[in-house]
Amino acid sequence: MEMTEHKTQETVENQENEIASYLESSEYRVCEYPNGLVMGLRLQSIPGGKGVHADVVHVLDLRQAKFGKTALAVQSALLDTIDKDLRHLLEDVGIGSMFEIQQIYTPFGRAHLRVLRPPKASRGSMVYETRSVYVVHSRDRVPPSNVTWLSRSTRIVSVDEFNLLHQSDTRSSLHDVKGSIEQTKWKDLEAGYRSGWWSLLPLILMMASSVGVTASILTSSGTLLVPAAVAAVSAPLFAWLARTGAIRLDAFNAALDTEEAKLEKAGDLARIREEIRENEEKLRVVGRLSFVLTPLMGGAGVAVEEGDFSAAASSLSAILTECVVHAPELDDESGSSADLGLKKFIKLFLSLGV
């Protein structure tokens, strides 16, 4: 009997560590979240010195998942975790100190670069991020249909298929990153930076010559020819350099936005963010109810165990009240107050898709 229990416990532990162990063996840093989600993050240099690829993999292990069965319950439990920004993901695996936002200033704008810099390095490398989401189910189970919003259908696989599929996706992911990088953006940044700062020189000359012209007019002494000529040359030169710098800097920022959009579509991040936008209000209500109702439900359970049914009834009444408060407005509010309360209670869960 003891041997059977030991084997069962060992099997459960193997299941829990199976995904994490594979990712660690593939040189990923791994974080296991309490809701059954496993996150792996691997940093690899991009051939040609183009930067660093942050390959982020989220694996939802349905064998260990701890949330309800409805799509909204899954969304509420997972979306915030999967949509974490890169800085927080790096912190989750213990290397958050490497991440920094490098700002490049010019007189007419600035650029923001996401950079990874090792602790003792003097320079950092620009980071390009991709995210992939996999859903892993048991070998003997039918693939679930309520998680297609989370990952593409080809990435909803049994545990036996995951390793091979991920290896194939990793190779194509690096290719997608290389193809998404706009190399011309660095020329735009350099030209914008140089033109922006050089434009200050004709600006200073223009201001100095304007002062000279004004002084000559007020004192009726000296010649106006030299300062007027300097002002006439400096003004258009300043305008040209300033405009060129602003245009090239805008082109650089536009290239960064294009790269980010391509990488989001190459992975699953665009899908996740679209899902968040579509269900933002529902998820907000679920989060608020979870925060308010969890202690009330816990209190009701404790009261029942202690035989204090009056306190339990009070907690349950408070739960119903909170549900009615957060319910959407009814189309028809005729009827008694009790009927309206029940209608609102039912409509809350219908609106949430429960």
Q: Distance of alpha carbon 75 from its chain centroid, rounded?
A: 15
Span between the terminal Cα atoms of the chain, in Å: 42
pLDDT for 279 = 66
Q: What is the pLDDT of residues 203-249, one digit of tens each?
A: 888 888 877 777 777 666 666 677 778 778 888 888 899 899 889 99
* CA atoms of 151 and 62, how far apart (whole Å): 13
Q: Which has more pLDDT, 111 or 278? A: 111
Farthest CA pair distance, the chain: 112
When pLDDT is averaged across residues 314-327 and rounded to a whole number, the result is 74
Q: Which has more pLDDT, 167 or 323? A: 167
pLDDT for 29 = 94
* CA atoms of 180 and 45, how far apart (whole Å): 15
Placement of tokens 């949330």 in the chain: 67
Q: Which has more pLDDT, 6 or 244? A: 244
pLDDT for 336 = 47
pLDDT for 5 = 41
Contact 188, 256 (CB under 8 A): no
Tell me the residue length of the chain: 354
Q: What is the pLDDT of residues 149-169, one digit of tens each?
A: 777 888 888 888 888 888 888
When pLDDT is averaged across residues 286-312 and rounded to a whole number, the result is 76
The domain spans of the chain are 2-185, 282-351
pLDDT for 2 = 40
Q: Which has more pLDDT, 109 or 24? A: 24
* CA atoms of 233 and 212, how far apart (whole Å): 15
- Residue type present at position 281: E
Four-point Cα dihedral 155, 158, 163, 164, nearest 10? -70
Q: Which has more pLDDT, 210 or 330? A: 210
Q: Which has more pLDDT, 124 or 69? A: 124
- Helix, coil or strand: residue 291: helix
Q: What is the pLDDT of residues 52-61, one digit of tens each?
A: 999 999 998 8
DSSP state of 125: E
* Average pLDDT taken over every residue of the chain: 78
Position 7 pLDDT exceeds 50: no
Q: What is the pLDDT of residues 56-84, one digit of tens each?
A: 999 988 877 666 555 555 666 677 788 88
Position 9 pLDDT exceeds 70: no
DSSP state of 145: S
Best CA proximity match to 72, nearest among 315, 342, 276, 254:
276
pLDDT for 72 = 58
Which residues, at least 6 apart from 42, have a Cβ–Cβ distance to it below 8 Å? 26, 27, 28, 29, 54, 55, 57
Which of 92-101, 170-179, 293-302, 315-324 holds the top average pLDDT? 92-101
